[in-house]
Amino acid sequence: MSDGKSARRHLRNARPNTVGRLIKQWRERRRMSQLGLALDAEISTRHLSFLETGRTQPSREMVLLLSRVLEVPLRSRNDLLTAAGYAPVYRETGLDAPEMAQVKQALGFMLRQQEPFPAMVLDRHWNILLTNEAMGKVMGLFLDPAATATLGAPNAMRLSYHPQALRPYIVNWEATAAAFIQWLHRDLLRTGDAETRRLLDELLSYPDVPQQWQLLDLDASTAPFLAIALEKGDVRFSFFTLLASLGTPYDITLHELRIECFFAADAATEHALRRL
């Protein structure tokens, strides 16, 4: 038992400043002062300063407390715990794992209930994990499989921005894409995730993307209600979408899932979807 304690103490002492730097990074990402964070966490600014500089090692409970106050995502809370020398708290279970069978059944039920309107399940990087039949049929009217095959795994953001995907058929592309890019900016601010950064940089590098989209617009709307009009020849759809998440705070995979449901924005679209 004493050997175990020594090993844990050695692990914490081996990287004394790592967790402190991470705490400071998250505080700055949240645009909080040391005083503001200390007040919210009900600790002294002196103690917080010692934690950030590595003069004091945080307890497991302190790491979790600061993570909650800073609204650190579950995945990154595990990183903070590991940096401090503690075991991760939150598990990450693959969606195809046997213990996720009931969840997948529930997701399938939600997608079916959305018929004849499109719906899809997305991961934290906007990769498309599941769709209902309506989504497949609508996308089949606009996407060329040969062209989109070169874009890699289906990604909702990439399909909306890439010139070989949906972009030519989104009538109000600039307004819609401006809202999408702000979602990505806010995802990056919230998570600090490297893959989100790469996806954001990729989308911003596409042709004719406005320069002002390079920056986060704090005044932009973040409501999960987006209007999008698709048109190709005689085919026209007008949708608004709702984004939902699962209330499952203890598994990283489920915490990061998004369900996007499309609804008809006019009677013509509803009629076309029911015929389709």
**CATH class of residue range 98-275:** alpha beta
201: number of Cβ within 10 Å:
11
Predicted TM-score (pTM) of the model is 0.84
Q: What would the mean pLDDT of 248-267 be, rounded to a whole number?
A: 91
pLDDT-derived band at 4 (thresholds 50, 70, 90) equals: low
Per cent of the chain over pLDDT 90 is 82
Does residue 5 surpass a pLDDT of 60?
no
Whether residue 41 is predicted with pLDDT greater than 70 in this model: the reply is: yes
- Domain range list for the chain: 2-83, 98-275
Q: How confident is the model at residue 250 (pLDDT cuts 50, 70, 90)?
A: confident
Measured over the CA atoms of residue 59, residue 92, residue 159 and residue 260, the dihedral's sign is negative
The pLDDT value recorded for residue 14 is: 42
pLDDT in tens, 206-241: 999 999 999 988 766 555 566 899 999 999 999 999
Q: How many Cα neighbours within 13 Å face the side chain of 72?
A: 24
Question: What is the pLDDT averaged over residues 139-165?
Answer: 93
Q: Compute the distance between CA of residue 115 and CA of residue 232 in angstroms, rounded to an integer.
A: 22
CB atoms within 10 A of CB 52: 21
- 163 and 203 in contact (C-beta within 8 Å)? no
CA–CA gap between residue 119 and residue 133 (Å, rounded): 9
Residue type, 216: L
Residue 23 region by backbone torsions, left for phi larger than 0, else alpha for psi between -120 and 50, else beta: alpha
**pLDDT value at residue 246:** 84
pLDDT in tens, 188-204: 999 999 999 999 999 99
Give which of 154, 165, 164, 176 is closest to 241, Cα–Cα.
176
Rounded CA-CA distance 36/76 in Å is 21
Would you state the pLDDT for residue 227?
Answer: 80
pLDDT value of position 1: 45
CATH of domain 2-83: 1.10.260.40
Question: Residue 48 — very low, low, confident or very high, per pLDDT cuts 50/70/90?
Answer: very high
Which tokens in the block code for residue 215? 């920056």
For 58-69, what is each residue's pLDDT tens digit?
999 999 999 999
Band of residue 156 on the pLDDT scale cut at 50, 70, 90 = very high
More confident residue, 2 or 42: 42
